[in-house]
Structure 1
Amino acid sequence: MTTPTVDVHAHILLPEVEALVADHPGLAEARALDARRNGPAALAVNGPMVRERIPKLTDVTVRLAAMDAQGVDVQLVSPSPSHYHYWADEETAEKVYRLADEATAAHCAQAPQRLHGLGLVPLQHPELAVHALEHALEQGLLGVEISSHTPGRELSDPAYEPFWSRAAATGALLFLHPFGCTLDERLDRWYLSNTVGQPTENAVALSHLIFSGVLDRHPGLKLIAAHGGGYLPTHIGRSDHAWQARSDAGAGCAHLPSSYLKRLYFDSLVHDPHVLRALIAAAGADRVLLGSDFPFDMGTEDPVGALRAARLPDADFHAVRGGNAAALLRLT
């Protein structure tokens, strides 16, 4: 049997979640911050871009046809990060994650051999995180999607320890996908909010997990970093040097920072075959998974072709194309 081609970075849009929060004053404030971070030129492009992709983001038949055209057999479907709503109060946050979980599960249930889903966790309320993870798993989802931080709290915060522990114990998948960069208006032109902001946020979040010892305390975590882990995997030498040269950098984790890359997973969405080869050299061919960011414009419409452009050895190509993800998602 041929290993399926598996895309671990694909999104769903959930109108019911947006309807739920539509009249909340916190939403207006969050959107104002998002507008400042992106700038008017980016927002003028984003609206039409998303609108023309709504069928792919909401209609299973359209999604499957697009997958067929790409040569993708299986997608791991995660909510659009715009649904995080980390501004929400506890009551609203619980409604958001429950609705998102149930809607994503219902979408995937229409093609259960081809679509597997992830839910959401309200990171702004750490006390809800374990309950949210359990709810996602109860819906038949494989885990949850999380951002790189929440206002006032990094992923290294001790408040998340029960969440990491439960995720490791259940074998749940965690998909680290940033939404919004705290460099704010410095990135408000030329879509720097995404092109620079996303890989920066990935690098910061992963550094918090590594240097704080989260990965030492929870070695069983199954965490997939979007966008190839951002800048960190290809610049990890600087982290290694700091860990060796400075007592403050080396105090929190037991091993060389680069060694933790082999405990994480990364999608292949780096838009450059040279960078993809460097990512594989840093993390290992068994730690990289095909990712497209379906169906957004910062993704790739031909993820297999993008992988082929890296000219990997056959075994590595097929591992990244689907073998690694098939094992991680327990498809075989």
Structure 2
Amino acid sequence: MSIDVHAHVLLPSLQAEVERRAPEAFKAAAELEARRNGPASLAASGRMIGERFPKLTDVRARLAAMDAQGVDHQWVSASPNHFYPWAEEGLAVWTATEANRLVAEHVAQAPERLTGLGLVPLQHPERIVECVDDAILGRGLAGIEISSVAGDVELSDERLEPFWSRVAELGVVVFLHPFGCSLDERLDRYYLSNTVGQPAENAVALSHLIFSGVLDRHPGLKILAAHGGGYLPTAIGRSNHAWRVRPEAHGCAEEPSSYLRRIWFDTVVHDPSALRHLVEVAGPSQVLMGSDFPFDMGPEDPVAEVRAAGLPSDVTQAILSGNAAALLSQRVRA
């Protein structure tokens, strides 16, 4: 049995309607993304998405690709370009609930093999809980996907406390998947917007959760970090040192490294030694197989990548499926 917890679906009808409803804001956001990525990366990504469009939209193509990979089950989340962090309140709530509907319809075509995750308008904290309930209780989805930041809302923002309380109460997964990076045009070549930007955003977002005490106040949270948590697990010693010597870094009750064992991570780290290190610092129960399906920055053979780490057989099987199954079994059923 193998479960891929990091797989995406593209929602073209949602994108088209957002552009129709807010053409100027949509254009400005697209121009920002173009500056952040640079023309070479923008062109390459366009070709890549065009080639993989059926896998991103058609369930039959998805299932055929899963069979070829030896993947039995996927957790399907919206492609992060559907976060729309710039959207005003009414549009943001509509995009989240419409995305929830579309993701639910997609996974319902193969419910024995697909599990869906929903969206919330992170930039409008006062509207998030209703969108959580729409996704989980209304649409039967299994968790919520969020970005690392939205506008001025960092994950340490006190306005998110009702959100953390609600997802912990429901026992659902919160899948942390950044989109874009605040380093902006410094990363506009060599695909640094992704290769450096995504791991940096993961590290910043997780550090906000840890240092602010969110995980202390909500011990039942199930945070799943994409891209193996980015740079944080490999540099956690520096966080520990800051916690010991800097008073302003002492907002959490324990050393930051201890919280890595309360967070779950996918295996999209691209290196067997990095995966072994992640298992070492987070624990074998906290790592789940992911692929970033079907984008080119994920492994084509995620099962083989897990096996290549040479971990004990029981740990390998836990990563391939057992840990993901355990997380899902704890959620409240709609």
> Normalization by structure 1: what TM-score?
0.97
**Aligned equivalent of 2:18, options 3, 21, 24:** 21
| Separation in 1, partners of 2:187, 2:51 | 25
SS in 2 for 1:53: helix
2:239 paired residue number:
239
Percent of pairs identical after alignment? Answer: 63
SS of the counterpart of 2:265?
Answer: strand
**Deviation of the 1:51 alpha carbon:** 1.0
* Partner residue in 1 for 2:324: 325
Mapped to 2, the partners of 1:90 and 1:246 lie a distance apart of 38
| One-letter amino acid of the counterpart of residue 180, structure 1 | G
Give the aligned residue type for 1:330.
S
Structure 1 residue aligned with 2:6: 9
1:123 is matched with which residue? 122
- Matched ranges for 1:43-192 at <5 A: 43-137=42-136, 138-192=138-192
**CA RMSD after TM alignment:** 1.1
For 2:147, the aligned partner's letter is S
- Of 46-55 and 5-14, more deviation after overlay is shown by 46-55
Q: Counterpart amino acid of 2:83? A: Y
Structure 1 residue matching 2:310: 3-state secondary structure: coil
Query: Is the contact made by 2:9 and 2:77 (CA closer than 8 Å) also made in structure 1?
Result: yes
What amino acid sits opposite 1:256 in the alignment? E
Q: What's the CA shift string for 1:92-136, capped at 9, x where partnerless?
A: 111101110001001100110100000111111001110111100
Gaps of 5+ in 2: none
Q: Which amino acid aligns with 1:6?
A: I
Matching of residue 206 in structure 1 with residue 203 in structure 2: no
Partner of residue 293, structure 2:
294
Residues 8, 75 of structure 1: 8 Å contact kept: yes
Whether the 8 Å contact between 1:16 and 1:99 is mirrored in structure 2 is no
Equivalent position amino acid for 2:8 in 1: H
Mapped pair 1:217 → 2:189? no
C-alpha contact (below 8 Å) 1:120/1:136 kept by paired residues: yes
What letter matches 2:291 in structure 1? S
Return the offset for 1:330.
2.1
Counterparts of 1:328 and 1:263 in 2: how far apart (Å)? 12
CA contact (8 A) 1:20 1:96 kept: no
Counterpart secondary structure, 1:204: helix
Count of matched residue pairs: 328
**Distance across 2 between alignment mates of 1:34 and 1:273:** 32
Q: Distance in 2 between matches of 1:157 and 1:322?
A: 33
The answer to whether the 8 Å contact 2:172/2:328 transfers is no
Moved >3 Å (runs of 4+) = none
Unaligned ranges ≥5, structure 1: none
TM-score normalised to structure 2 length: 0.97
